[in-house]
Structure 1
Amino acid sequence: MLDRGSSAAPLYAQVARLLAAQIAGGEYGAGDVLPSEPGLAKELGVSRATIVKAFDTLHREGLIQRRQGLGTFVAPRPQRRSLSELTSFSSVTRSDDGVPSHRLISYTVVGCGDERDDLLGAFPASADVVVLGRVRFVDDVAVGFHRTALPADLVEAAGLSENVVAAEDFSLYQALEAVGQRPWSAEESLRAVPCPATICEHLAVGEGAPLMQVRRLSKNRAGQLIEAVDAFYVGSLYQYHTELSSHPVNEKEGPAHEVNEDDRGSHVRAVVTERVRRDARRG
């Protein structure tokens, strides 16, 4: 099964590719536990150190996850979200046939006189803010951590007590929509950051491990800020997707064609088009 010739690839690389092929072929599915390191070493006739190095390779590639005391598991398929759509974590997960859930880690009220960081600074200093810390799961695998700030008066209006938010099937956007405060528009920025010490245990990664941080500022239809969130994702488990075009407007319909703002797939192109028109008028 393994090539032990002098010109062959290192044994750990061959083991990694063998396991990767078995995962891709469906022999091991998302969430399945892999054989133990000693068991694989015996089965393949290699040292345990070789298996450890092979697992290290697969972990870096995002194919497996290690859970202390439980074993090594096949990682779930990365969640994929379009950059042109304002949707919730739960909606994205369900659209990809996953099961979303969360665990509430913290529920904190920050008063108008309390110290604030830059995330909470998005709200007026005179407004009380409620901050939620939540681990986000897909098929019971932790893929992200959300630190979400909401105006305290909105939290009260929506009945978002700590017990309500702690429910496993809680969806923030559903709760906001129920009181007529559905996020209508948002600004997002993405960057790579080292995993903060405060959340590395929740995501089963080491302190300083690379994460993708997404900051979203969401407004309601009246243009009022109703949510500020820093979302930290394990890069191998969550993907952002966007479609680009060098033709902002359908050429067949001409430059006067108006893009329907409710067509989310065209929204990014519509924004670009309007910017071009404004620049042309100023010129």
Structure 2
Amino acid sequence: MDERLLALRPDETDATPIYLQVARRLGAAIQGGQWRVGDALPSERTLVESLGISRVTARRALQVLAEEGAITRSRGAGTFIAPRPEPRAARLDNFSELARRRGMTPASELVAFERRQATAPEAEALALRTGEEIVRLTRLRKADGQTFWMDVTTLALAVLPDASAIGESLYAYLERIGQPVLRVTEKLRAIVASEELATRLNIAPGEPLLHILRTGYTHGDKPVELTDAYCLNDFYELKQ
């Protein structure tokens, strides 16, 4: 058996879905150069026989990598390693990265958690039925103890039944449950702080803020999170 395939075998003691384990390990092998651009990947059948997984699991693992742009699939031709895309600009929503880049320690504080029925706009944004239950959580994002950012995030109740499960990173949580954010759309605009925002962010009312309206999409291009982020102007940056 190809030794590269042995490293892809899932860990039965790991609670992570098997298809995600295989996708992550195969993705890491691709990044590590074990398969090169243009190389053909093992077929679904080979993965099934070598790893002891189902055909559906193999297909889902390859679909994850295809959605991430790591591989290309062509009916009748096979699966191949895709050319690596040019580096993209860092997303403004990645608070933790911005904090660490400044040598600061990031942290999150959950200040509100609401469970209710979705409004029509919320249902539309998250591809839910009107009236389906959602949760809305407000988090203060801090660096070295100082608040620089506030996120107000809406998700389906089925995605987040318990706010304590998130930890520091919402995106890490979504990845753990098999609904990783694979792409985002963002709309940015300048606003001034209302009294409520000023109180939360410990600034004076009327001070300028950056408002980021973000929608995160998971497998099948399904919207999984809707976030209003409010950032102090002296903290955000955009780097290549």
Q: TM-score, normalised by structure 2?
A: 0.56
Deviation at 1:221, TM superposition (A): 2.4
Deviation at 1:201, TM superposition (A): 1.3
The answer (yes or no) to whether the contact 2:123–2:132 under 8 Å persists in 1 is: no
Q: Are 1:93 and 2:99 counterparts?
A: yes
Task: Identify the residue that residue 175 of structure 2 maps to in structure 1.
Answer: 177
Larger Rg: 1
Task: Identify the residue that residue 122 of structure 1 maps to in structure 2.
Answer: 125
The answer (yes or no) to whether the contact 2:183–2:216 under 8 Å persists in 1 is: yes
Amino acid at match of 1:90: S
Q: Are 1:153 and 2:151 counterparts?
A: no
The answer (yes or no) to whether the contact 2:217–2:224 under 8 Å persists in 1 is: yes
Of the candidates 109, 116, 130, which is equivalent to residue 110 of structure 1? Answer: 116
Amino acid at match of 1:143: F
Is the partner of 1:102 in helix, strand or coil? strand
Taking structure 1 as reference, are residues 176 and 218 closer, same or farther at Cα in structure 2, changes over 3 Å only? same
Taking structure 1 as reference, are residues 164 and 154 closer, same or farther at Cα in structure 2, changes over 3 Å only? closer
The answer (yes or no) to whether the contact 1:212–1:234 under 8 Å persists in 2 is: yes
Unaligned runs of 5+ in 2: 1-87
Task: Identify the residue that residue 197 of structure 1 maps to in structure 2.
Answer: 195
Is the partner of 1:238 in helix, strand or coil? coil
Task: Identify the residue that residue 164 of structure 2 maps to in structure 1.
Answer: 163
Of the candidates 215, 218, 223, which is equivalent to residue 217 of structure 1? Answer: 215
Is the partner of 1:198 in helix, strand or coil? helix
Identity %: 23
Deviation at 1:127, TM superposition (A): 2.7
Q: How big is each residue's C-alpha offset from its partner over 1:41-76, in whole Å with a ceiling of 9 and x where there is no partner?
A: xxxxxxxxxxxxxxxxxxxxxxxxxxxxxxxxxxxx
Q: How big is each residue's C-alpha offset from its partner over 1:149-184, in whole Å with a ceiling of 9 and x where there is no partner?
A: 11111113xxxx23344xxx5211111111111100
Is the partner of 1:200 in helix, strand or coil? helix
Task: Identify the residue that residue 270 of structure 1 maps to in structure 2.
Answer: none
Taking structure 1 as reference, are residues 128 and 220 closer, same or farther at Cα in structure 2, changes over 3 Å only? same
Amino acid at match of 1:148: T
CA RMSD in angstroms comes to 2.4
Task: Identify the residue that residue 137 of structure 1 maps to in structure 2.
Answer: 142
Q: Report the number of matched residues.
A: 151
**Distance in 1 (alpha carbons) for counterparts of 2:93 and 2:210:** 18
Is the partner of 2:219 in helix, strand or coil? coil
**Distance in 1 (alpha carbons) for counterparts of 2:140 and 2:96:** 13
The answer (yes or no) to whether the contact 1:119–1:229 under 8 Å persists in 2 is: no
**Distance in 2 (alpha carbons) for counterparts of 1:83 and 1:119:** 28
**Distance in 2 (alpha carbons) for counterparts of 1:87 and 1:193:** 17
Deviation at 1:119, TM superposition (A): 5.8
The 5 Å alignment of 1:1-283 reads 83-85=89-91, 88-112=94-118, 115=119, 122-123=125-126, 124=128, 125-156=130-161, 161-165=162-166, 170-241=168-239
Q: How big is each residue's C-alpha offset from its partner over 1:164-211, in whole Å with a ceiling of 9 and x where there is no partner?
A: 44xxx5211111111111100110111001112222112111122110
**Distance in 1 (alpha carbons) for counterparts of 2:135 and 2:218:** 17
The answer (yes or no) to whether the contact 1:150–1:226 under 8 Å persists in 2 is: yes
**Distance in 2 (alpha carbons) for counterparts of 1:223 and 1:141:** 35
Amino acid at match of 2:115: V
Taking structure 1 as reference, are residues 85 and 211 closer, same or farther at Cα in structure 2, changes over 3 Å only? closer
**Distance in 1 (alpha carbons) for counterparts of 2:163 and 2:218:** 23
**Distance in 1 (alpha carbons) for counterparts of 2:183 and 2:92:** 7
**Distance in 1 (alpha carbons) for counterparts of 2:189 and 2:176:** 32
**Distance in 1 (alpha carbons) for counterparts of 2:124 and 2:203:** 29
**Distance in 1 (alpha carbons) for counterparts of 2:163 and 2:235:** 28
The answer (yes or no) to whether the contact 1:88–1:173 under 8 Å persists in 2 is: no
Deviation at 1:96, TM superposition (A): 4.2
